[in-house]
A and B are shown apart, each in its own frame.
Chain A
Amino acid sequence: MKKVKTKKDQRAYFWFFSFLALILIFLFGITSPYLGYYWLFGILFGFVLQKSRFCFAAAFRDPIIAGSTSLFRAVLVAMAIMTVFFTLIQYNAVQGGALTIPGRISPVGVHTIAGGFIFGIGMVIAGGCATGTLMRIGEGFFMQVIVLIGFLIGTLWGAWDYPWWERVFISNSPTLHLAQYFGWTGAVIFQLVLIAVLYYIAKKYDDQNNILL
């Protein structure tokens, strides 16, 4: 592992900005309920992403370019943990009388494939996904400011074109939730087994192809 050269002690800035962040939790929190918590969650996500050098673009790219699946497998572990807890939250919400299942459940169709595909190309040539771009701006990368400018243009363009995608594809696409097919318990077991199988394949692939080993 390459040792990062530290130029000078920046911890005074750390304490200053931490203090500022703390005050802002209060100031945001007092203007609107929960706003301070969103700010806090963002900070915690950013801190963890940077400290663990967690990059979703690399999770998708490294298996292809370097034969390395360690980051991809870490994403799978996160998915397995969240599958259990997200399903419990959903189940309890539905038992408690919620009319729709909470969480990120979207219609699936041509728009998902097209959007995911071009996002995949974009994140590799830009050298970072949405989270990676924000994280690297915080680290001081000027390049990711350019990526963000592109992102802003692209997302506005997509919002402008959205009615067409909605009319042709999204409104005709089904919203599919695994519990519809397997029941709650079955869905969790199905997904965990699927993740475990992918993990196993990714580990085998890494053992045979990793050019860094």
Chain B
Amino acid sequence: MKSKIIIGPWSYLTGAILLAVLNTLLFAALHTPWQITTGITYWAAWIFKFLGGAPENWHYFANNASKSEGLSQSFLSNSLSLMNFGVIFGALLAVLIASQFKVKKIKSPKQIFAALLGGIIMGYGTRIALGCNIGAFFSAIPSLSVSGWVWGISAFIGAWVGSKLLIKYLL
């Protein structure tokens, strides 16, 4: 029993219930439910700024008070950025407690291409749909937002197309 908790894996249902409780506590305590990709967009904008770009002048950031404030902060002073680092850190703790940490290398160039392409279209998709599987789905449906259901159906159809591509070209 003790080793099952420490080593895992926990059942999907256990995970689902705990994620639901955590998201509810986050919403109740800090007034906004879980989101990921606004924080990732800040990461991208800060890196772009470091490379010499001026994203603070972009309409996306400049015309939105909370986004221009977020952009003026940094990796460790912005709440959404920090919460994302926390997810990475928490997963690290979860593998370390079970002594399962292992660096896993990339196997083939084809995988790199798929990873990069998949990442790019996911990233673009989050900006136009106003969130990812967390902000536009996992936190949106419980908020009774119709957008959450529409996002879910659209992502499901996308996943169907993606699966066909996966089977045809990658597996």
A: residues with CB less than 8 A from B are 1, 4, 6-11, 13-14, 17-18, 21, 28, 31-32, 34-35, 37-54, 56-57, 60-61, 64-65, 70-71, 73-75, 77-79, 81-83, 85-87, 89-90, 101-108, 111-127, 129-131, 133-144, 146-163, 165, 170, 175-179, 187-188, 191
Q: Does B65 contact A (CB under 8 A)?
A: no
Task: Name 18 A/B residue pairs within 8 A (Cβ), A-sorted.
Answer: A45-B90, A50-B95, A73-B12, A103-B33, A104-B32, A104-B33, A107-B147, A114-B128, A122-B123, A123-B155, A127-B115, A138-B91, A151-B119, A151-B122, A157-B123, A157-B127, A165-B128, A191-B144
CB distance B157 to A159 under 8 Å? Answer: no
CB distance B165 to A21 under 8 Å? Answer: no
| Chain A positions within 8 Å of B44 at CB level | 151-153, 155-156, 159
CB distance A52 to B22 under 8 Å? Answer: no
State the majority secondary structure of interface residues on A.
helix
Interface flags, B133-157, vs A, CB<8A=1, else 0:
1111111111111111011111111
B63 to chain A, nearest CB (A): 8
Known: A6-B98, A105-B147, A111-B129. A28 touches B27 (CB 8 A): no
A61 to chain B, nearest CB (A): 5
| Chain A positions within 8 Å of B41 at CB level | 155-156, 159
Q: Does B72 contact A (CB under 8 A)?
A: no
CB distance A104 to B86 under 8 Å? Answer: no
Which bracket fits the contact residues of B?
Answer: 35 or more
| Chain A positions within 8 Å of B36 at CB level | 130-131, 134
| Bound CA span A140–B132, Å | 23
Cβ-neighbour of B127 out of A116, A143, A148, A161 (below 8 A): A161
Q: Which residue on A lies nearest to B156, using beta carbons?
A: A60
| Chain B positions within 8 Å of A77 at CB level | 13, 16-17, 20
CB distance A112 to B154 under 8 Å? Answer: yes
CB distance A147 to B118 under 8 Å? Answer: yes
| Bound CA span A140–B88, Å | 10
CB interface residues, B 1-36, toward A, < 8 Å? 7-36
